[in-house]
Amino acid sequence: MKTKILGLMCLSILVLVLAMGVVSSTLTLDSLTSPSSVVAGNSVTVNFNLSATVNNYTALNWSGSSADMGSTWTTLPTLPSINMGENSILSATLFVPLTATGTITAVIDLQNGTTPEAQLTFPITVIPAPTEVSDCASIGDANDLMELEIEDITVIRGFGDDNEWLPLDEIEIEVRVENNNRDYKIEDLAISWGLYNLDTGNWVFDEEESDFNLKDGDERDLIFTFKLDDPDEFEDDDTYAFYVWAEGEDEENNNAPVCRAVSEAIEIEMESDFVVLDNFQIEGTELDDITYPNTLSCGTTVHLTADIWNIGEDEQEEVSLWIYNKRLRKKILKIFIINKAAKDRAISLIRLLNFRPGIAKLRINKR
């Protein structure tokens, strides 16, 4: 008889444990979309589904959500309740600091009041920032001594726009640095900047400006101008970022180092069919704008030269270069076959006949 009673007690305990398991699993989190990687210094958004299959929940609490490597959830769901049988698609945003490396474990932790209900884990691989930038972020600016911002990005010559660039584009970037301290200056402030290939882990280029002192409450605008003059340095599928970092000394705190870094994601466009002219010269003078600065005499012979780049992904056959002018008949300069990411040099002699004094307009096309 005792054996039967013991068996019944064990069965009752088993049923109770199973029942408890059903209750704890009635609130479910399922991942919908989440990035597999993130560039250090950027944010990622994850999307997931919340469902309740048995009970109503009226005190949903997301504050226990966490992440390692100094990453923080900048936005979490605000949904306070969910009824039995309902589903809700939610999202959360995680910021990953410039110092992060390796793989982040980010956890969405859901409680009802203080009772744990469900968790969802997102492993996210970090694409690290350049060493110079992560070192700057490690120094930091604990007292918020300065502000550093990329104010504007402009493609001043070429075919790109804003953060989408093409090889041979000329770009201008405006940066502002400000001293927030109203009583002390930032000494020996050095601004560095450059374009970085996150896939190869190499700088396409990096530069450093001469250091300066920034007075209390003052700000300074800097303009960086550069040209993507070597198409061979770029691959269409690679990921790029433009970084700016500023390191100086805090006069108020015994010249302790302070550093700030900012970045912008950059997309390098590589079209399938794209042939451009670059380094166009008349009589050896490179044209910085569309006007030749010197005077040419009628009846003389003019030397025109230019680089013809195939910056597309495909080989181009029978590329012809034409020159037009109202008084000058069409003239084919050369017919090319240009391999991918290659260039050729066009050389032409044009004799200025039947030109009147004044400005003669030439139009050069490729076909």
Lowest mean pLDDT among 130-144, 195-209, 321-335: 321-335
Using a 10 angstrom Cβ sphere, with 0-12 exposed, 13-18 middle and 19 or more buried, the burial of residue 361 is exposed
- CATH fold for domain 131-268: Immunoglobulin-like (2.60.40)
Q: How many Cβ atoms from other residues are within 10 Å of residue 362's Cβ?
A: 14
Cβ neighbours of 82 (radius 10 Å):
19
Helix (H, G, I), strand (E, B) or coil at 233: helix
Instruction: Identify the three-state secondary structure at position 169.
Output: coil
The secondary structure of the chain in percent helix, strand, coil, rounded to multiples of 5, reads 10, 55, 35
The CA distance from 176 to 64, in Å, is 38
Is the per-residue pLDDT at 221 higher than 90?
yes
HSE (CB half, 13 Å, CA atoms) of 69?
22
Dist CA 37 CA 259 (whole Å): 26
Average pLDDT estimate for 261-287: 77
Q: How confident is the model at residue 13 (pLDDT cuts 50, 70, 90)?
A: very low
Confirm whether 131-268 and 275-366 share one CATH topology. Answer: yes
* Per-residue model confidence (pLDDT) at position 234: 86
Please say if the pLDDT value at position 179 is more than 90.
yes
Looking at the DSSP bridge assignments, the partners of residue 145 are none
Q: What is the mean pLDDT of residues 298-307?
A: 67
What integer pLDDT is reported at residue 294 of this predicted model? 62
Band the pLDDT of 232: cuts 50, 70, 90.
confident
Identify the CATH class of 275-366. Answer: mainly beta
pLDDT tens digits, one per residue of 34-72:
999 999 999 999 999 999 988 899 999 999 999 999 999
| pLDDT value at residue 345 | 44
- The SS3 of residue 5 is helix
Q: What are phi and psi of 80, to 5 degrees?
A: -90, -20
Tens digits of per-residue pLDDT, 80-125? 999 999 999 999 999 999 999 999 999 999 999 999 999 999 999 9
**pLDDT of 356:** 44
Question: Which sign does the torsion angle of CA 351, 353, 358, 362 carry?
Answer: negative
User: Would you give the distance in Å from CA 267 to the centre of its chain?
Assistant: 7
Residues 57 and 270: their CA atoms lie apart, in Å, by 52
Task: Read off the pLDDT band of 155 (50, 70, 90).
Answer: very high
- pLDDT exceeds 50 at position 269: yes
DSSP code, position 217: T
Over 80: is that where the pLDDT of 291 sits? no
**pLDDT value at 363 more than 70:** no
**pLDDT-above-70 percentage for the chain:** 69
Task: Check pLDDT > 80 for residue 273.
Answer: no
Q: What distance in Å separates the CA atoms of residue 67 and residue 123, rounded to the nearest whole number?
A: 10
**Residue 152's pLDDT is what?**
96
**Domain coordinates in residue numbering, the chain:** 29-127, 131-268, 275-366
What is the per-residue pLDDT for 116? 93
The CATH number of 29-127 is 2.60.40.10
